[in-house]
Structure 1
Amino acid sequence: GSSPSASGGAGARPRVGELSRAVAGARTGRCGVRAVVELGTGAVRLPRPEAPAAPVEAPGAAEEVAARIAAALPEGLVRTVGSRRMGCALPGADLDLVAVLPGPADAAGVRARVAAALPGARRLREVTGARVPGLRLHAYGLDVDLVLVGAGALDPGLAVARRAELGEAAAVALSALDDADAVRESVGASHAAFASLAREAKAWARARGLDSAPFGGLPGLAWAVLAARTVREAVRDAADLSPAGLRREFFGTWAAWDWSEPVSLLPADGAGRSPSPDPVTVLTPRAPVRSCTAQVGPGMRDLLVRELYRAWEVLEADPDGLGRLTAPPPLHRRHAAWAVVTVRAGAAGEFEERLGRARGRLRALLAGLPDAHAWPRPFERTATLARYAVGLGPTPPDAAALAALAAPWAAGLPGVEVGWAASGEVPDLP
């Protein structure tokens, strides 16, 4: 007595989606998922490999690392910047530090002193190719970025206020201190509401793959500016400052935003500004005022708008639907093929150097792939290897076309290769 559609008989059309899958398994002492086959399309993909448990940040770890580095550089000034200075860091966020030192910045010398101060540090390397020198390391369970600014003959304690005297690169690096302070000042007594909203926005951006500047996304400062602007205007308009109210306001405002208009921290800051030539322009709040989103291309802007609209629609239907907001996107339905960027080396130290160079130059590869979405986290990682997936859109280039485009980019990057993969050959992404 069952109808064909209910029983799965002749004429039934299987629904394609998260709930209508055929799972192919194999028994090797236990039953496990070996591949996922979508009914109706026959698309096959590998399941996401089990990720290692995320490290738990020990209380006081960031403060301890910053204090040890400051003690190793007593002649200088070491300050925390970024999300931790703004008070809106996600658990396990990078620790971003700026060190102002008298004379020129000696990265090799600082590296030796930091290594002595943090003997348990791993993956300690100098950052090359950036505006100013720096170090990157892992200590106390945290990834640490240390930017080095040489103050020349200027007292390091005066360098932030007089940064324009040190040249553009140093001024930009030192403005991170004032940028973070300006964000906090802009929300005043509503800092707790801002911090909650900024964390939610960044967690959403991370889940949807929109949060990494080296991969063409928006950096943490941009999300903080958007959140601070939302809170400030809600306070001005006596709007709902509850988490659910601010969440709806955030996604509703930025989903409808005309992205040819620059976004500044305060509405008056953008008054009279001409439309930006860049796809997305979020301005830093303090001098030298500049875009922190110049790396965002047209494809990422379009994806950003679609994701913001999706989030707004979710919240219109369910104001408390935060869990649905941070669900992973259906990447295997968006991308018919992938570019797999592999970085490898024979030793861990050499690998970290190569990985840093590849990440720093990834935007040049993406410039030739207009429909690409580079996922910011590797789907495979060891001490000497990392593989990143770059979605190539619904009409991707074939293997030969990708090879021709990627060869010049990879030529100057030892240990880096780019391969073409069909949709199902890349697992669900972390």
Structure 2
Amino acid sequence: MFELSPKAADYKTRLEAFMADHIYPNEDLFYAQTEQLGPWSFQPVVEELKVHAKTAGLWNLFLPDKELGAGLSNLEYAPLCEVMGRSHLAPEVFNCSAPDTGNMETIWRYGTEEQKARWLTPLLAGQMRSAFAMTEPEVASSDATNIESNIRRDGDEYVINGRKWYTTGATDPRCQILIFMGKSDPTNEDRHSQQSMILVPKDTPGVRVVRPLSVMGTYAIPDRAAEVVFQNVRVPASNMLLGEGRGFEIAQGRLGPGRIHHCMRLIGLCERILERMCRRVQGRTPFGSELSRQSVTMERIAEARVMIEQIRLLTLKAAWMMDTVGNKAALAEIGMIKIAAPSVACRIIDWAMQAFGGGGTSMDHYLSACYATARLLRLADGPDEVHRNQLARLEFKRHAATDPRVTGGHGNVLPLEEVERRFAYLRPGNPGYLWD
């Protein structure tokens, strides 16, 4: 069912060779440039490697469009995304990193031809980067209906006001376009029709990137997050995506692939961490015995292998369902893997830190940045709690549609008459009394 197609297998072989030749040898330089240049800049090594990736034909692999991208299904892309996820450096090198992938898919799916020509084409070419402005500091943005930023029509323009944060990509000097989500119809009785998404060029007057935001004390890795203020920002009415009040519709189309891509990458990260952990414990000998011979180490390594295989299978199932029945029908599977994968990654990386000792908390072995990535993803694109609640509601709905007589799914208190009939054998004097 999940066998690699010849096309995907070829891409995977070429990706793995590129990783060995160009990505892994340049990771130290990548992290050094990140620290030295800071969040308002970008790493030159990334731009250098993009040229090689384009030449190798390893570019825009995420996009299912055969003319603009690789034309791969979600199921075909999954193992490739996993390979890229082994390194923080890799995804952007192949133009397959967030938030650009989500923004490109959004414009590709919902943009006008004019919007595509102006923004999608240069994004696909890697000539610019983008940002996604949704989360707000003043409301609980896990419930997106709380978002209070305003999009108001004024003649042939929209006027935008709002304060956003964790706007990934905004501090990047290559960022030229933001997708902004806000309320265009705040009095609409349907809370899911109040919101819209609109394209905002970063250089528009009134757009101000206030500060970069660190993730667990680090900037630009794992997330180039920022706080951005939009004050009386005017953009043409033609910048509206799909139409007023359709922001949630766009969000569903955007976030499904984005969520599963994060999980695909986390599987690759887990694989690499587990490999490093195995090599580490075989060379360390505290108290006269190799770490690899201690039962706690062996249990953790075995558990890690089981958990990786579980989340991989769930990811592949979700990808297969997205391909065959659509993102909406795969909502439960996407939610399940978004819950499971980051938690598994946090657990495995934590175990690896213990095995590496003090060095595991530094960047000598990249584990601290890896943990920050996994922990961040328990919040990004919807926190665990939201996905669990949604999943529970889907379960209630699913079982409400079944006949308990057929499934044996009764869960109510038994009527007294039924209790007396069913358990008569436990009362003395009744036929079949158990202890006669």
TM category, shorter = under 0.3
TM-score (norm: length of structure 1): 0.22
Larger radius of gyration: 2
Higher strand share: 1
Higher helix share: 2
TM-score (norm: length of structure 2): 0.22
